[in-house]
Amino acid sequence: MHKAEFPEKLRFLFHPARYKVLYGGRGGAKSWGAARALLIQAAATPLRILCAREYQNSIVESVHHLLQAQISALDLASFYEVQNSMIRGANGSEFVFAGLRNNVAKIKSFEGVDRVWVEEAQTVSKSSWDTLIPTIRRERSEIWVTYNPELETDETHQRFVVHPPAGAAVVKINWNDNPWFPDTLRREKDELKGRDPDAYQNIWEGNCRVALDGAVYARELRQTQAEGRIRSVPHDAAKAVHTFFDLGWADNTSIWFAQTVGNELRLIDYYSNNQMPIQHYIGILQNKGYMYGTDWLPHDAKAKTLATGRSIEEIMHAAGRKVRIVPNLSVSDGINAARTVLNRCYFDEQKCAEGLQSLRHYRYEVDSDTKQFSGRPLHDYHSHAADAFRYFALSIEEDRPVASARGVRMTGWRA
């Protein structure tokens, strides 16, 4: 017989629910409680449990270590065998670990799991949720979600807190709900409350930020939202769709799909993936069935690869695509161009959700010496969608109508 203590607010973890959502600020014992509860349940009944997060390049980035620590704390070391990439119970229970991002085939292989625990879920994209949730269809299966909120517009917060699905048990838990909240963290919490009340509200009270600190397009995207320009945006089949690429391999390749209708710039679609050849993206474009205009590529598309002896530009030309290279301007010029055009942009709320999430999270680096925001954007997952959007903005400015002696001559990709 083993005994374990939990904050009162976590009692619901031991009652059946399709979705169990724990969100809030630091120090609320969300992850600790979820790990402990899952270990106890898996010791009582054979369960297959998938521990997932949006990005996981190695087991070190998973909750593997947290589960191992809780196995020791619960005195269950004789029951659980902790392996390098899996944890097994003596009754056949097992904990497996995976990243969700661009891992569709592997995620679909987990349809027989009993529990999914998605940690740091504030970063999970719409496409990842749309792949994961229908995969978890075993009778009485459960999806557990733990996260610290960032923006109210983030997909996870909208999906589970703002508009919770049927069968969801949603609990906000903070430091003051944790009876074992340590004095060290209490001092840290109180110091931040006096120094930066807004940051305190997000970090410790679990309230959403109005905008991320250092967010590049915070003001422009708030205006876009307020003016109702994030909505259902119809595809006009009579007009060409133009694409704007940021190319990557280990990093994401990101593509925006755009049309112009009058003075409106309509972002009708978005796609991203990684570790896929350019033929994959050409296939994606073809399968969407749009009537295409120009594919805009960054300058590195002109470089020849050792594998093929050809550049991405040449490969796309050979596939019958109309390709142009984006003007080679600085990042700051691209950001200024994006700010200039954002007041004319309409984004499809569903198809561009992932790209929009990245635009909202695109932010400047913090200088390690001054601790102030530098003029350099942070290079992370979100920067790829933002780079492709910069190319979109720069290409529009490149291709404005040019006046001529005979009237107005249209150039470039305007439909």
For residue 280, what is the domain's CATH number?
A: 3.30.420.280
- Say if residue 272 is in the same domain as residue 404: yes
Please tell me the pTM assigned to this model. 0.78
- Say if residue 284 is in the same domain as residue 189: no
In this prediction, residue 188 carries a pLDDT of 96
- Say if residue 156 is in the same domain as residue 240: no
pLDDT in tens, 360-378: 999 998 876 776 777 789 8
- For the record, the structure tokens of 97 come out as 């670990």
- Amino acid of residue 307: A
Residue 317 lies in a domain: yes
Report the distance separating Cα 384 and Cα 146, nearest Å. 26
Lowest mean per-residue pLDDT among 110-119, 161-170, 339-348, 363-372: 363-372
Please state the rounded mean pLDDT for residues 291-314: 91
Helices (H), 230-381: 278-288, 312-318, 331-341, 353-361
In this prediction, residue 368 carries a pLDDT of 67
- Say if residue 252 is in the same domain as residue 366: yes
pLDDT in tens, 315-355: 999 999 999 999 988 999 999 999 999 999 999 999 999 99
- Say if residue 139 is in the same domain as residue 168: yes
In the chain, what percentage of residues exceed pLDDT 90? Answer: 76
- For the record, the structure tokens of 144 come out as 């557990």
Long-range pairs for 69-73 at CB < 8 Å and ≥24 separation?
A: 70/32, 70/35, 70/36, 70/39, 71/39, 73/36
- For the record, the structure tokens of 259 come out as 């049309």
Whether the pLDDT of residue 55 is over 90: the answer is no
Lowest mean per-residue pLDDT among 40-54, 150-164, 373-387: 373-387
Please state the rounded mean pLDDT for residues 33-55: 95
- Say if residue 341 is in the same domain as residue 391: yes
- Say if residue 196 is in the same domain as residue 234: no
- Say if residue 192 is in the same domain as residue 229: no
- Say if residue 150 is in the same domain as residue 283: no
Report the distance separating Cα 317 and Cα 102, nearest Å. 27
Whether the pLDDT of residue 404 is over 70: the answer is no
Residue 252 lies in a domain: yes
List the domain range (segments joined by +) for residue 65.
Answer: 15-203
Q: How many residues does the chain have?
A: 415
Phi and psi at residue 265, in whole multiples of 5°?
Answer: -105, 110
- For the record, the structure tokens of 204 come out as 């410790």
Residue 7 lies in a domain: no
> Count of domains in the chain?
2
In this prediction, residue 414 carries a pLDDT of 40
DSSP label of 358? H
CATH number for 160: 3.40.50.300
> To 10 degrees, the CA torsion angle through 97, 101, 102, 105?
30
- Say if residue 400 is in the same domain as residue 271: yes
Residue 35 lies in a domain: yes
Whether the pLDDT of residue 314 is over 70: the answer is yes
